[in-house]
Structure 1
Amino acid sequence: MSTHLFRRFVTIFRVLLPFFLAWLVSFLPLGSRAARQARAARRLREALEQLGIVFIKVGQVVGVRTDTLPPPYAAELARLQDAVRPVPIHLVKPFLEREYGRVLSELFERFDPEPLATASIGQVHRAQWRGREIVVKFLKPDTLQLLETDFELIRRMAGALRRVSGTPIWEDILTVVGRFEAGFREEADFAAERRHAIRLREILAPFPDVVVPETIDELCTPRVLALEFVDGCRIADVEAVRRIVRQPRRLLDRLVHLYAYMILCEGYYHADPHPGNFLVLPDGRLALLDFGMVQTLRVETRQALTDLVRAALRGHTDEVVEGFYRLGLVAPDTPRDQARAAIAEIGQINVLQSNTKNRIAAVGEAVERSRVRFLLPEDLAYAFRLIQMLEGVASYYQPGWNVIADGGAGIQAALEDLVSGVAARRAERRPAGDAAQAASMRLVANGARLRPAESPVRRLFQSVQAWLAPVAERLDSMAAPEVGTAERRPELSPVSNGTTAPRAQDG
């Protein structure tokens, strides 16, 4: 190990040591256990912030699962979504002036000195440019150098553990680490993020209830991204969202439909769905933010995944097992009967077990008992991470929610889009310019669900829903009241003023 890497290793150990000590103390019978846990959680969050990009992102992924973490840890790690230590304005200003070759006061009518949001890689400030409200996102200094050091250290440590242990799992871990490293590097390329934002805006244009902010191309560089400002409340702000959306369960269906559509119909998807990247607008639409992590799927993988999903929805276990082999989710030398028994048990656990912690533990025990070697192919690493994060977002409204047991409606909607050829005819259907916005707002005003415009399946179901909606809502209120959260979730730093509409929209 080089001197540079060794110094970084020592730094990581030194920064994490206060957390480990506080964590051990939290188990001692001294004073208030809650206070000791809160102290340990705060030390962990501070350590991750201090260690930088890779560690902050790990904290963000873990912190999404508010239903599996003790409350103090959930509250502290939630702050990592966008409340990371900001770069001060006296460093921001010269950086942007070098990028643009102009003084900020000459370029912008207003540039807010306080950041709107601060993340692991980038920082966002609100500004006014040519009368438009926009946001300016820039790459933090020394980002690429820190990424190089941390991933090299992770690779070396995983390689050493692989040689010592002799177990094949470390090979899988190294593959996943490589995939995440590539994702981080792409996230640090703001020119690529601009291309992702443009393409996702095009792909999702037929969805009237989805907003992808427009890029301000004149202000974009490889290290700076400028977008239109979108005003709304965070999806994690449960109280504010409930004032806009009468039935949050429909909002969860919309999220699943949206992501299933991107993955199964387009093979091109927004791969960072943590709560900070969703806004609910005052008119009930859903806005996507942060396009640094966008992934693609090969046609063969997408077809195999679609077949597996169809089989799972129909309860065809043998076809599901075949899908696992086609996708490389099971070691190819595993006997079919052994794999079938393990997959069936895991599926049953996910359907029947509503407590998330118990479900995760039960799945782990089932995998261990089965002795089946489950794998995570490189091109599916982000897709599985995405499922975990979506479940975390859903847990704000329905603790224990999971894609297998509760996401069927959204997945089925995406499959209907695939069958009806929505993706192939997207360009022919899309209105142009102002007409697109007008059509979108008419559909929202009429209570349109998250379904691409002009779909015959959508028109049929919308007609039936319009007829049955009053009856269904009445039965809902009598038989199955909305599931709420047991406690208020930690607030996140706002990216807007949180304005909400005076009337509710259907989710």
Structure 2
Amino acid sequence: MAGLVRRYLLVVVRFLPFAIAFLRDRRRFLLFGRRRRVGEAVHRERAERVRDTMLELGPAFIKVGQVLSTRPDIVPPTYTDVFGTLQDEIPEDAGGDPRTVLEAELGDELDLSTLERVAGGSLAFVYTAAYDGERIALKVRRPGLKPMIERDLRVIRGLLPLVTPFLDERQRYSVRNVADDFEEIVLDELDFDREREIMDEIRENVADDDRVVVPASYPELSSERVLAMEYLTGRKVTDDDAFEGVDVDAHEMARWITEVYLEMGLVDGVFHADPHPGNLAVTDGGRLLLFDFGMSEQLPRAVQEDVVDLYRALVRRDLDGLVDALIALDVLESSVDRAEVRRVLELVVENLSGRADVTWRTIITELMGSLREFPFRIPPDVMLLVRVGTVGEGVCRQLDPEFDFLAAVREFLLERGLIENELAALVGETAADAQQSIPALARLPTRLDLTLDQLERGELVVRTEPADGTRRDPALGYAVLAGALAVAAAVLTLGATPYAVPVSGLAAVFLLAYLARRHG
């Protein structure tokens, strides 16, 4: 208990200067005074100091910063950019020596004298070891890490009630959910059994794709704290020599990365959510090698469909569909003022139209910035999808500065039939309109029969002269009827009714009558 209190005090002391600075932005003298105007440079400097403080406070706070870098519903763009630079490297002895975990878990099955460390991060280290005559990789969780993180999660949750009174209503909506979201993400990363299961499922899903390779696991050596897998090597995709001696170039690899991740997220529903350069490599055979599946997600089928609806609405600029998708994904509350949201989104679309520099990051920044007017949040699965898009696009642009990420996304969606092209969409909308009109059109033959009877008896006069007395062509009435019937026939054809042929015939009769009067 004393240790928890000391941790509370340490965290409060470290973040107190930032809290005072943010409060002074609202009221210069904390309790009274006008708002302060703070420039972009000041905010960036603050963000960098907050980032450094998170690094000093350890793994849980590093993860807080990494999560916040994908939460524009909580922090402004300057802070998301800076927090996105947080790296996992911390001293090896933080949380204890990972070798003690291997001794406890695998001491009887592995020759630990063959261990070699190859990588390290905030949650785990990666070693290689000899097993059955070959080298395997072992991802090992720091031994004292889980109690440390659980303690810091309690501290973070305990401090949230002190923060929320100083937030506006729309931010409170997100913060009320962020503690649960964050806890779920971090604890999932600590569970190596979960990571192994997802890695195995993704490996099975991409088994027939010659472009990508995922390491196989060794379940008999794996546990919640240890993940044993094939030891596969490659050159980091952004290295200068990454594509030397292989049959793929940087542009093609950028396209592969885009398609592989879209296939995982939108088709398979199980995806690797951390595509930064350190987790992507090019093998000697020219294949894309994926590492580190700690940050991964499995989407329910309903969420997959909602995400596809979101893409479809964005591509077609269907604002009503976009609002529907955002509500279905729980980004917006169902009680939100739809008309007001639509008006704001319309401004976003107008702002992006015609710009040559539109990227995925631009769209997300504009979209999330506009939604700040409303209570909104980004659920964990949606957050990870957003992260995949922004991080993945950044990698693709590093590989090829001219790479059009959005065009590649659109091409993939069209090829997989997840969205329709403009012509197909237009035909679909027209057919839908026709189907909605069928009840009224079904009464058309009866009305037409009555109208023709009236014409035959002379009870109905088609006026072809304007009220001002100016004479017009007397054949105009036939032309109007011919045109109207031709349109009716076209619509009836879409509705697959039996009246299309006779109505087409009547249109032809009136057209001939028009021509006869015109040239007779």
* Band of TM-score, shorter chain: 0.5 to 0.7
1:331 is aligned to 333
TM-aligned CA deviation for residue 93 of structure 1: 3.3
Assess if the C-alpha contact under 8 Å between 1:256 and 1:411 holds in 2: no
Identity of aligned residues (%): 27
Counterpart position of 2:115: 111
- Deviation of residue 358 (structure 1)? 7.5
Please tell me the residue identity of whatever aligns with 2:393. Answer: E
1:210 is matched with 212
Distance 1:143 1:127, change over 3 A: same
Residue identity matched to 1:195:
E
Structure 1 residues 344 and 205: alpha-carbon distance in aligned structure 2, compared to 1, 3 A threshold: farther
Matched AA of 2:328: R
Residues 309, 86 of structure 1: CA spacing in aligned structure 2 closer, same or farther, 3 A cutoff? same
What amino acid is aligned across from residue 106 of structure 2 in structure 1?
A: Y
- The change in CA–CA distance for 1:398 and 1:364 in structure 2 (over 3 A counts) is farther
Q: 1:190 pairs with 189, 192, 195, which one?
A: 192
| In 2, Cα distance between equivalents of 1:348 and 1:269 | 33
Cα distance per residue 1:193-222 (max 9 Å; x no partner): 221221111122122111110112232122
SS at match of 1:128: strand
Picking from 149, 152, 156, the partner of 1:150 is 152
Aligned to 2:431: none
Tell me if 1:128 matches 2:134: no
Equivalent pair of 2:352/2:358 in contact (CA under 8 Å):
no
Correspondence for 1:7: 6
Match of 2:492 in 1: none
> What is the rounded CA distance, in whole Å, between the counterparts of 1:136 and 1:8 in structure 2?
32
1:91 aligns with 2:97: yes
Please tell me whether Structure 1 or Structure 2 has the larger radius of gyration of its CA atoms.
2
Q: 1:50 aligns with which of 53, 56, 77?
A: 56
Query: Which one-letter code corresponds to 2:322 in the other structure?
Result: V
Counterpart-to-counterpart distance in 1, 2:220 and 2:287: 27
Aligned counterparts of 2:7 and 2:94: Cα–Cα separation in 1: 24
* CA 384–348 in structure 1, closer or farther in 2 if over 3 Å, else same: farther
TM-score by length of 2: 0.63
Contact 1:279 1:288 in 2 (8 A): yes
Counterpart in the other structure of 1:293: 295
Unaligned residue ranges in structure 2 (runs of 5+): 20-43, 72-76, 421-520
- Whether the 8 Å CA contact 1:155–1:174 is kept in 2: the answer is no
Q: Which residue of 2 aligns with 1:224?
A: 226
Q: Equivalents in 1 of 2:47, 2:172: separation in Å?
A: 29
Separation of aligned partners in 2, 1:402 and 1:374: 30
CA drift of 1:302 comes to 1.6
Q: Superposition RMSD on alpha carbons, in Å? A: 4.3
| Conserved? CA contact 2:181–2:379, under 8 Å | no
Deviations 1:138-180 (A, max 9, x none): 1102211122122222222223333454625223223233122
CA distance in 2, matches of 1:259, 1:293: 14
Q: Would the aligned equivalents of 1:121 and 1:140 in 2 still touch at CA under 8 Å? A: yes
Q: Quick check: 2:128–2:138 contact (8 Å CA) kept in 1?
A: yes
Whether 2:357 is the aligned partner of 1:354: answer yes
Aligned-partner residue type, residue 111 of structure 1 = L
CA distance change for structure 1 residues 301 and 218 in 2, over 3 Å: closer, same or farther? Answer: closer
Under a length normalisation based on structure 1, what TM-score does the superposition of the two structures give?
0.65
Q: How far apart are residue 246 of structure 1 and its match?
A: 5.5
Aligned AA for 1:96?
L
Distance in 2 (CA, whole Å) between partners of 1:55 and 1:246 is 39
Give distance in 2, aligned partners of 1:400 and 1:375: 33
Pairwise CA distance, 1:192: 1.7
| 1:137 maps to which of 116, 136, 139 | 139
Count the aligned residue pairs.
Answer: 391
After TM superposition, the structure 1 stretch with the greater mean CA deviation from structure 2, 313-322 or 271-280, is 313-322
Structure 2 contact 138–226 (Cα < 8 Å) conserved = yes
In the TM superposition, residue 57 of structure 1 has moved relative to its aligned partner by 2.8
Q: What secondary structure, in the 3-state scheme, does the structure 1 residue paired with 2:285 have? A: coil
> RCO higher in 1 or 2 (8 Å CA, sep ≥ 6)?
1
Is 1:391 matched with 2:397? no
Gap regions ≥5 residues in structure 1: 21-37, 419-507
Please report how far the alpha carbon of residue 338 of structure 1 lies from its aligned counterpart in structure 2 after TM superposition. 2.4
Deviations 1:14-53 (A, max 9, x none): 6679999xxxxxxxxxxxxxxxxx9999987764443222
